[in-house]
């Protein structure tokens, strides 16, 4: 028996119903009759041998099979859109899209500098960036909706996601603060941090537990006035003088210049590591390869 051939238009109708929640809304958006959409959905369900929707009040809710079909449909439409764009340009330039997930805890300056080499792929390369928590981004990676995740942690051994963890580089930690705060807390480092206001990275950051342990070992007992999952927000509060904060030493000069801060010391007993996590089939993406090849320059020369 021949395998069923899925019609692109069937997927399009399914996708619009899935995103609008009703056949009527989908019909209005597609300028076709509701009956036509219902018929095409029935054909698609018959081909797949699965129900894709269930009724929930006045709306249609995706079944588990429907959720899986939606994931594949979005990938198919994304590839189709790229094909249309290439045709409109009149030439096939081998255009590439690199979809990158950036963990919230990664400093934006670091993410920018790590991704900059991807632009060397040429004007045909399109960069798409998404931010979020590591676990969520890894799920997107495993569903092939991302090509790369930049994080402060790698894939756990024996995990369900098959892929590669690439060490981009390592850095000691610098403590920085607003000039007014630094003047109010004179003395030698790290004793000047004793009972001082401090801004901590969120608990998802690997730096959180290491920094907390170091502060306790030094018996500094700072006053934690804020804890932030988003690194950019943390730096903004530091720039307003809310407290001292820790940053990768390789970025300290740039962060101090951008936010008007001063470096007060280096914690060389804490080493932060930064990783690129990829799915196996995308390891040879040309733009991704440039990122991996040139990451060492950031950590060797401090950007």
Q: Name the segment(s) of the chain with CATH classification 3.40.190.290.
A: 96-303
Counting residues of the chain whose pLDDT is more than 90, the rounded percentage is 48
Mean pLDDT of 249-269: 94
Is the Cβ–Cβ distance between 264 and 176 less than 8 Å? Answer: yes
Tracing tokens 């850095």 back to the chain, one arrives at 171
Is the Cβ–Cβ distance between 96 and 121 less than 8 Å? Answer: yes
Is the Cβ–Cβ distance between 164 and 278 less than 8 Å? Answer: yes
Counting residues of the chain whose pLDDT is more than 70, the rounded percentage is 87
C-alpha separations of 111 from 104, 156, 230, 231, 291 in Å: 10, 22, 13, 11, 11
Q: Does domain 8-89 have CATH number 3.40.190.290?
A: no
Is the Cβ–Cβ distance between 70 and 15 less than 8 Å? Answer: yes
23-56 pLDDT tens trace: 999 889 888 999 989 998 999 988 888 999 998 8
CATH class of 96-303: alpha beta
- For 279, the token pair is 């799915």
Q: Name the segment(s) of the chain with CATH classification 1.10.10.10.
A: 8-89
Question: Above 80 in pLDDT, residue 78?
Answer: no
pLDDT, residue 282, reads: 47
Question: Above 60 in pLDDT, residue 183?
Answer: yes
SS3 219: coil
Mean pLDDT of 135-159: 86
Question: Above 70 in pLDDT, residue 291?
Answer: yes
pLDDT, residue 75, reads: 81
Q: What is the mean pLDDT of the chain?
A: 86
Strands 163-177 and 126-132: unpaired
The residue among 272, 292, 285 whose CA lies nearest residue 121 is 285
187-233 pLDDT tens trace: 999 999 999 999 999 998 999 999 999 999 999 999 999 999 988 89
Is the Cβ–Cβ distance between 117 and 290 less than 8 Å? Answer: yes
Measured CA to CA, the distance from residue 73 to residue 85 in angstroms comes to: 18
pTM of the model: 0.64
Mean pLDDT of 72-90: 64
Q: Which of 127-131, 154-158, 186-190 bottoms out in mean pLDDT, i.e. has the lowest? A: 154-158
């Amino acid at each position: 028996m021949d395998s069923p051939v899925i019609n692109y238009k069937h997927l399009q109708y399914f996708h619009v119903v899935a995103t609008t929640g009703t056949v009527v809304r989908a019909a209005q958006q597609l300028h076709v009759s509701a009956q036509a959409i219902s018929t095409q959905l029935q054909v698609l369900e018959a081909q797949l041998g699965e129900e894709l929707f269930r009724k929930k009040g006045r709306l249609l809710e995706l079944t588990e099979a429907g959720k899986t079909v939606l994931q594949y449909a979005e990938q198919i439409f994304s590839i189709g859109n790229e094909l249309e764009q290439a045709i409109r340009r009149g030439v096939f330039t081998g255009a590439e899209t690199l979809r990158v997930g950036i963990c919230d805890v990664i400093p934006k300056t670091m993410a920018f500098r790590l991704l900059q080499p991807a632009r060397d792929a040429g004007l045909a390369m399109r960069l798409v960036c998404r931010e979020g928590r590591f676990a969520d981004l890894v799920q997107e990676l495993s569903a092939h909706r991302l090509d790369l995740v930049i994080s402060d942690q790698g894939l756990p051994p024996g995990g369900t996601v098959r892929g590669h963890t690439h060490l981009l580089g390592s850095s000691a930690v610098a403590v920085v603060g607003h000039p007014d705060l630094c003047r109010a807390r004179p003395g030698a480092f790290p004793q000047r941090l004793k009972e001082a206001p401090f801004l901590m990275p969120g608990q998802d950051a690997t730096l959180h537990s290491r920094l907390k342990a170091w502060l306790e070992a030094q018996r500094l007992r700072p006053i934690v006035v804020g804890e932030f999952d988003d690194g950019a927000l943390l730096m903004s509060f530091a720039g307003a003088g809310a407290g001292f904060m820790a940053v990768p030493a390789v970025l300290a000069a740039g962060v101090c210049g951008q936010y008007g801060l001063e470096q007060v010391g280096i914690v060389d007993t804490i080493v932060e590591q930064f990783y690129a996590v990829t799915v196996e089939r995308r390891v040879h993406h040309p733009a991704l390869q440039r990122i991996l090849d040139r990451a060492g320059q950031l950590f060797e020369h401090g950007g």
